[in-house]
Amino acid sequence: MLLGTEQKGEQNQIMLSPLSSSSLALQAHQLLSQQWQRLQKHVRRVLAQHPEAVESLHQIRVILRRIGTWVEVFQGSVRLPKPLKPKRLQKLARALGKQRDLDVLLEILQEPCWEGIPAAQQAELEKLRQDLRQRRAQAEKRSRRILEDSDFLEFQAACEQWLAHPRYKPQAELPLLESLPHLLTPLLAEWLLQPGWRIPAFPRTEAQAEQLHELRKATKRLRYQVEFFAPFYGEAMQDWIATLKRLQDQLGRFNDLQVLQAELPADSELQTLLQEQQKLALQEWPGYQQRYLSTAEQRQLYCNWFVSNF
């Protein structure tokens, strides 16, 4: 039921109070509330230097990305303050991601593939480890400062205020189940249209590698979106989410190794080993390409997940 409207400029903002469980308004509020509660738990852990603070920092970054996807999905239904706009969220996520990126690089340098390499390469590897550890320690301090900085505090306050007093647009009245196909198809279309799908079995240029990186980010956004609405679908949706996660991880592994390559001189003998690891990371890539460049598979995705279930 509509409780009231607020006129602002040329756009109506409808103030809704608990609608039926099938409304876009209630679903949007529930999803953001879930992310908000998780965020608060992990922020407290990082600030208290909890033993699991490193993982909590990673989760904060993930939650910010998920909220960014939430904004993309519901931007036609909700009226948001500036701190919840996509560019602000992306800026925060990037700032907090620096420590996580260094953690990932250090983890790669601890893998078994580095065992048994010549002494000269071991020395170069240890020098790189020491440099990354120093930068990682500095990044950890910056991460805690970011969580206490005005930009992050404004984001938290805006999120909390919106959840307490949500503001919706007229579209929020629409029934959720009838609206799902229209909410889900834009990110699916963006994903299938990524130029990265046509990159060869192994990227040969920096531009090709960047296109794969963009595909990875689009895969992550699509997965987050699908996870939002998975409860309304069957088991097969969970299987597809797992497929998206595997693709995201493999493309992410390739990108992490590329970032590590940039930390070394171009003539370093360690570059060869990193290229070998990159090829291993993309072993399954041709199979994904063949599957998702198929017109029949694309049509099936639209039919199975975004139309026929409703």
| pTM (two decimals) | 0.86
Mean pLDDT, residues 178-191 = 90
Amino acid at 154: E
Question: Looking at the domain 1-173, which fold is it?
Answer: CHAD domain (1.40.20)
State the pLDDT at residue 9: 34
What's the rounded Cα separation, in Å, for the pair 287 and 74?
33
Enumerate the domain spans of the chain.
1-173, 175-310
The 8-class DSSP code of residue 6 comes to E
The contacts of residue 283 (CB under 8 Å, 6+ apart) are none
Q: Which of 39, 299, 20, 310 is nearest to 183 (CA)?
A: 310
Per-residue pLDDT tens for 60-112? 999 999 999 999 999 999 999 999 988 889 899 998 888 889 999 999 999 99
Alpha helices in the chain (DSSP H): 24-47, 53-74, 86-108, 119-147, 150-164, 176-192, 206-229, 235-262, 270-281, 285-292, 295-306
Helix (H) or strand (E) holding 7: strand 2-8
